[in-house]
Amino acid sequence: MFLLSKISWLAIQPLSVTFALLFIGTVLLWLTFRRTALICLSSAVVILFLTLFTTAGAFGLQALEGIFPRSSEGSEDVSCMIVLGGALETEVSTARGRLEFTQAADRFLEMARLATAFPDARIVVSGGDGSFSGTYMGDAEASAVFLRGLGIDASRVIRETKSRTTRENVENTKEMVEKLALPPCLLITSAFHMPRSVGLFRKAGLEVVPWPVDYRTSGKVSLRLDFTQPTANAQLTSTAVREWLGLAAYRLSGRIDQLLPRPD
């Protein structure tokens, strides 16, 4: 299932679909199927334009980021936090022998801030190597190095090193949290990733307090043309499409109870 999800995403992300349509359209032109070729090529142009030169991606991502605002409830007495992986450039970090982070580095930064502010809190870091090869250092393993460098006692850290997907994060973390009888934990992950994560934890019967970080939008994005940052627009669109498709797939497979989980 893990490999299928990885391969599927490689095939259906916006730029991959654009390339496929351009390739098919070109072949059809050579084969003189001009009408079908024109449909393919036109579709590719539309997808590419929306991806590069509009705020569609940011708008779609913003819709997810706004669902779970950070709650002040529990912030005065944090006794447990769950941090989902995704903050680490696993291949680069392993090759360089030092930690290099992704855009989701806020997950680790917030973990460190809270760990310092609440010295008795337990820290559950969930994240193995999600690459095809499975040969790189994952987030849970890296967290030990990161926190040790900040002088945080390693005995406070519970590392879940095997998960490669959000579903596996939840399944493996649930077992650890219940075994240790930890109280409801703060759930630290990217704001756009919070609805899917909370939905999975709810389905698993594990109570968490959403603590979103790593916002990618201002919260004030409107749908419009944007010719100023095509590369950033493409990245935002890719992230938004992936998260919305993940929500749809999890709902259809019964892994979450709502297409768009919301606060209780």
Which fold is adopted by the domain 80-213?
A: Rossmann fold (3.40.50)
Burial class (CB in 10 A: 0-12, 13-18, 19+), 57: buried
Q: What is the distance between the alpha carbons of residues 201 and 221, in angstroms, rounded to a whole number? A: 29
Closest CA to 227 of 71, 55, 103: 55
Domain boundaries along the sequence of the chain = 2-65+229-252, 80-213
Please check whether residue 52 is in contact with residue 180, taking contact to mean a CB–CB distance below 8 angstroms: no
Torsion-angle region of 186 (φ positive above 0: left; ψ -120 to 50: alpha; else: beta): beta
Sequential pLDDT tens for the chain (264 residues): 655 666 676 778 898 999 999 999 999 999 989 999 999 999 999 999 999 999 999 999 999 999 999 876 555 578 999 999 999 998 999 999 999 999 999 999 999 999 999 999 999 999 988 676 668 888 999 888 899 899 999 889 999 999 989 999 999 999 899 999 998 899 999 999 999 999 999 999 999 999 999 999 999 999 999 999 999 999 999 999 999 999 999 999 999 999 999 998
Note the pLDDT of residue 134.
67
Give the three-class secondary structure for 157: strand
pTM above 0.85, yes or no: yes
Torsion-angle region of 147 (φ positive above 0: left; ψ -120 to 50: alpha; else: beta): alpha
